[in-house]
Amino acid sequence: MASQTPSEILERIGVTRIAFDKGEAGSREALIDYSRALIASLEIPSEFMQRTFWAEPAQSAIIRIAVDTKLFQHLQEAGSAGLSPSALSEKTGIDVVLLQRFTSHLVAMNLIAFHDGVLLATKLSNGLAADNYQQSIGFCYNASRPSFNGFPEYFKKNGYKPPTTSGTDGPFQSAHQTEKPFFDWLVASPPYLDYFSSFMSAYRAGKPDWFDFYPVESHMVEGFDSSISDALLVDVGGGRGHDLATFAKRYPSHPGKIILQDREPVIASVVESGAENPFAAQAHDFFTPQPIKYARAYSLHSILHDWSDDESVKIIENLVPALKRGYSRVLFNEIVVSEENPTLAASNMDMMMLAHLNVSERTEDQWRVLLAKGGLKIVKVHTCPGVAESLIEAELF
């Protein structure tokens, strides 16, 4: 977003408010963006410093304490009656004087409220009380934050160059004093694997899925030919099948089979759960040749952004022989970074990838070059207002 005066931003906020009142997609996110821009246009440097280096880090630390003491849950249970500082102190075990200092900061940051002598939950604090957000806070504070705090020292030592693509000598390894790649560290460091899973579920919560803004009926269902293959959709590296389960609910009368693929331990956990899933499950390593031939569509949700260009090309090359020219499509649900107007959601994730996996998010031009190296061309990049990830539709050259 180009630099604008406060008056210009306020005018845009007024126009967007009308769209928000009409429930237009993306208007809520646009209002947040304009509000941030308004703050940036109004803040003086001293205020910026205090907010960035005092207020926000302090809030993060207090929120982490709130997880350990169930502060948000206690306020949620109290409802509109609220809790006095002394009552909340008794429930959390935090000294009442210290608690009042903590909660005063959270009130100032608009996270909780204080009225008539009692502390009150807000819609936001109630949301953070949910288990997946509580675990997400543990992941973000204990696993991610040390990596970001270590950026200055790490990049000074390596001459301010991007880390190598090995995934074993980046900011994450430096901060946590480990040689393990990020995902290996998660597995070896309980409970952070569960925390990360919660973080990923929370990251996408409340946002449209790719099949909400991709024309499934006209681009996938229409033209499906069971004589070519009985597979409609293969979710490559699809985890435990969240996307496919939601897809099946959205399109209950879809033709053909929908198939989940992931590593053997993940598929085993899906099978062992005993749940009746609307999809078939198959163990598959996407660094090996794709076993299901000529499916109508293959979906890869946030897969390639975890890997370097060379590794991503290998993933694509193992998929390409399974495609039928003029029939099969590959659907990459990924962030496409705008160079001129990068969104905070995109830049946030790019910093996460830099901090943890030594890789990066990609622009549309970078995606075109990468996919071409693997033998694919982009048909169209489908987007949805307010959604960080796009749907890159590709096919064989």
Phi-psi region of 177 (alpha: psi -120 to 50; beta: other; left: phi over 0): left
Q: Is 22 exposed, middle or buried (0-12, 13-18, 19+ CB in 10 A)?
A: exposed
The tokens describing 187, both together, are 């597995």
Structure tokens at 137: 């806070």
Tokens of 197: 């899973």
Q: What is the CA radius of gyration of the chain?
A: 23
Rounded CA gap, 306 and 346, in Å? Answer: 14
- What the block records as the tokens of 390 is 């796009």
Pairing of strands 280-283, 297-301: unpaired
Which pair of structure tokens corresponds to residue 85? 């500082």
305 a catalytic residue: yes
Which of 74, 301, 305, 356 is flagged as catalytic?
305
Q: Are 196 and 143 in contact (CB under 8 A)?
A: yes
Four-residue CA torsion sign, 301, 218, 378, 2: negative
Sign of CA dihedral 47, 48, 53, 59: positive
Active site positions, annotated:
305
